[in-house]
Amino acid sequence: MNMGRMLDDFEDILIPRRTEISNWVWALRHLNPVLPCAENKIYTPEKIKLEVLRSHKIVTLIDRESQNDFSKEHIINKILDILNEIGYCRSVLTLRILAFFLAQITTRICQGIYVNKHAVDKLKTRMGNIRIMYVPSHRSYADFILMSYVLYHYDIDIPAIAAGMDFHGMKGMGTVLRNTGAFFMRRSYNSDSIYWDSFREYVHQLVTKGDKGIEFFVEGTRSRTGKSLYPKFGLLTMILRAYFNSEVPDILFVPINISYDRIMEEKLFGFELLGVPKPKESTSGFFKSLSIINENFGKVFINFGDAISAHDFFNGKIDRSCHNLDPVYLRKITESERRATSLLAQKIVESQQKLCTVTTFNLISTVFANNLNLWQTSIDVNTLLSHVKWMDSILRNFGAVCDFDGTIECLLNSIEVHHNLIRWNTKGECYLVHDAIDLRNVDKTKMKGHQLSEKTMLNAVPLVMLQLYVNPILHYFINPAIVVTILRRNYSKRHKDKLLDEFNFLRSVFAREFVLFPENSTRDFIETLDRLNELNSIDIDGNLISLTTDNDLYHLFQHILEPFLLTYYILCNVLTNANLRKETESDIISETQKEIEKLFNDHINEYIHPYSLSLDTISNCLQNMVDLKMIQKIKRDETYFYQTTLYLIENLRNQICDYLLYIPKGNINKSICKL
């Protein structure tokens, strides 16, 4: 096995940066970037703002608002202030300087940046007269920086990049980001209709008048877990408005997956998931983070997928002619267009997942996590190599692309990159590192959830960090894990229809945890049975299905869901508590973490995975209960309260209890549980 055969369409774009005389020569080269929509009249950033002001929508807005107590001049000045806050700029000099420094930094901290060149070349052939939206996965702050670096390398025009207001407030850095194409959006608009309409029209003008692409994250924010997040529809809907109104013939959405050997924010995310607030973005914090130049972050894989054409995707799903009778600026998104937008977001996320590159450390982490469930805290290097090879073969069977080349050198190199998490000793045994966690700067009084003890934090953080490298590949395993979780309750045969019902139930429970869409449930069920049958993990006798004899794959799948099931189970207990049936989100989260910490510290004979303490999982469960109408989310004075429908939560708790390997004693009537 070799990396070239497994990733034969990828090239390391750092190779020329390492061999040239000076990176300045590359950064200062003559630029003739390919434009996505070169046929458009060139609109400068300032002209885009003027087009917003001249648009019928904003003119109507000014007339409407000026009928109140404000003059037209006041309203216009307010809109100009908003546009100046939002709008991107473009400085070629800034781009060149950043390109040079990025070349210097990446060649020092990365072993390689591997890009699917074939897909990039294919995309470039479609450029010239089409609107292009770049939609990368979002796992790190480095995502949009690397995207610009890659496009600069391939001489593709840098797009306008949607960025959060967190960066806008960074002194100096906000200006630098704006000059490289960032436009800024607030996380919430509240009741400020002037801001909302101005931002929406600004995006509309970028789509209809701009010659550049737009880059945005369909997930809305960074995933702190390594898993895909449930997509957001706001910005996507704004972009599609031009297509729905027939103002542009087509829009191409390019799904992109950015896979990291090692995430720069791994420790930060580990703390955040347990409740430590993230530090506020600041310029001083940015310069402190430059200490990373002394670290080794291994490889980065950037995989461009096939562009999704809006015209092709929406064909037969919507009727754009329904807008013909209304002026463009008065047209509203129809319900069928909203549903179709949701399906497009779903397709983008699924495409990003399929474009994932499985790193060697993803394999190592999954092996380690599985062994810890079996109380194996260390593993011989040669045994680890054997297990990683096995895990690699399983993932390839599920369609994954892996960078593991099968050698002990590749394995040891990956462990060296992650020496802060896993090391090997003189006996050749690999073990999880617990002594690298520093709690001195953690202010426990500001914890978002329960104030976890120092003992819990020291034990939990390394394991939570390890899980960050298991999570990116769970989308390959989640459906098989659900089937095995159902079948393991007993070894009797299960009718296919009954199995599908339970499969759909667990998918609905974990819909936000693993981004599972009901539209794909039957298809995924059939594919999962086929895969498990190929792996000899199940027996299919007509419509009757059962597990085969106990094996390593069975143990792997039965442990994957356990930390999530336990969190959901404890949360249900908390919600059925008479004193917490109508409480704030923070109260419920805190109480849930408190109960899980008790289990974590008290039940020393049962393995309680500390990832069960994750605030992200608790929040996902709460949101999904709202989606399933089991609880009602009520907002009062900027605070959210949850009102529980008791019998629905009790039913969910009892059903989850059926699937747990370990049932916490004293929390539920055991007669209900049928394991």
Q: Give yes or no for a contact between 649 and 581, defined as CB atoms under 8 angstroms apart.
A: no
pLDDT in tens, 390-426: 999 999 989 999 999 999 999 999 999 999 999 988 8
Is residue 94 a part of any domain in this protein?
yes
Instruction: Check: CB of residue 364 under 8 Å from CB of residue 409.
Output: no
pLDDT of 581 strictly over 70 = no
Looking at the fold, whether 479 and 619 belong to one and the same domain comes out as yes
Q: Say if strands 131-136 and 160-164 run parallel, antiparallel, or are unpaired.
A: unpaired
Over residues 155-203, the pLDDT tens digits come to 999 999 999 877 766 666 788 889 999 999 987 766 788 999 999 999 9
Q: Which residues contact 22 (CB under 8 A, 6 or more apart)?
A: none
Q: Which of 354, 371, 393 is the last residue of a domain?
A: 354
Alpha helices in 488-520 (DSSP H): 496-509
Element (H, E) at 300: strand 299-304
- Looking at the fold, whether 215 and 342 belong to one and the same domain comes out as yes
Percent of the chain with pLDDT over 70: 93
In angstroms, rounded to a whole number, what is the distance separating the alpha carbons of residues 81 and 78? 5
Instruction: Read off the pLDDT of each residue in 648-669 and give the average, rounded to a whole number.
Output: 78
Instruction: Tell me the per-residue pLDDT of 454-482, one tens digit each, with 9 for 90 and over.
Output: 999 999 999 999 999 999 999 999 999 99
Banded pLDDT at 668 (limits 50, 70, 90): very low
In-domain check, residue 31: no
Beta bridge partners of 174: none
Of 310, 339, 354, the last residue of a domain is 354
Please state, in angstroms and rounded to a whole number, the distance separating the CA atoms of residues 26 and 17: 8
pLDDT higher than threshold 80 for residue 131 = yes
Per-residue pLDDT band at 288 (split at 50, 70, 90): low
Residue corresponding to tokens 């630098």? 176
Is residue 281 within 8 A of residue 307, CB to CB? The reply is: no
Q: Please report, for residues 35, 57, 80, 83, 91, the alpha-carbon distance to residue 45 in angstroms, rounded to integers and kept in the order given.
A: 16, 19, 13, 10, 11
CB of 112 closer than 8 Å to CB of 12: yes
Write out the DSSP string of 427-475.
Answer: TSEEEE--TT---TT--GGG-SS----HHHHHHHHHHHHHHHHHGGGHH
Residues 344, 313: contact at Cβ < 8 Å? yes
Contact in structure between 253 and 135 (CB atoms under 8 Å): yes
Specify whether 603 is located in the same domain as 495. yes
pLDDT tens digits, 516-562: 988 899 999 999 999 999 888 899 999 999 998 767 888 888 889 99
Is residue 590, in this structure, part of any structural domain at all? yes
- What mean pLDDT comes out for the span 67-82? 88
Check whether residue 319 and residue 464 sit in a common domain. no
Q: How far apart are CA 137 and CA 222, in angstroms?
A: 8
Instruction: Grade residue 491 by pLDDT with cuts at 50, 70 and 90.
Output: low
Which SS3 state, helix, strand or coil, does residue 309 take?
A: strand
Give dist(CA 8, CA 24) in Å, integer.
30
**Full residue range of the structural domain in which residue 128 is found:** 37-276+294-354
What's the confidence (pLDDT) of residue 483?
94
And the tokens for 104? 């210097």
Residue 142, domain member (yes or no): yes
As a whole number of angstroms, the distance between CA 263 and CA 296 comes to 11
Chain position carrying tokens 């109508």: 582
**pLDDT digit string (tens) for 104-118?**
999 999 999 999 999
Identify whether 179 is part of a domain.
yes
Instruction: Identify how many contiguous H helices and E strands the chain contains and give both numbers.
Output: 29, 20
Whether residues 349 and 472 fall in one domain: no
DSSP annotation string for 585-620:
HHHHHHHHHHHHHHHHHH-TTS---GGGG-HHHHHH
Quote the DSSP letter at residue 212: S
Residues forming a β-bridge with 308: 253
Higher pLDDT, 354 or 548: 354
Q: Is residue 3 part of a domain?
A: no
Q: Residue 305's pLDDT is what?
A: 96
Whether residue 672 has pLDDT greater than 50: no
463 and 346 in one domain? no
Q: How many domains does the chain have?
A: 2
Beta strands in 507-552 (DSSP E): 538-541, 544-547
Which pLDDT does position 247 carry in this prediction?
Answer: 92
Higher pLDDT among residues 290 and 375, named by residue:
375
Q: What is the pLDDT of residue 674?
A: 32
Q: Strands, DSSP E only, in 105-198?
A: 112-116, 131-136, 160-164, 182-185
pLDDT in tens, 499-524: 999 999 999 999 999 999 888 999 99
Q: What is the CATH number of the domain that holds 219?
A: 3.40.1130
- 605 occurs within a structural domain: yes
Domain stops at, among 326, 354, 382: 354
Residues 464 and 347 in one domain: no
Residue 666 has pLDDT above 60, yes or no: no
- CB-neighbour burial class of residue 529 (10 A; exposed 0-12, middle 13-18, buried 19+): buried
On the question of pLDDT at 582 being above 70, the answer is no
Distance CA 163, CA 216 (A): 8
Alpha carbon of residue 215 to chain centroid = 15
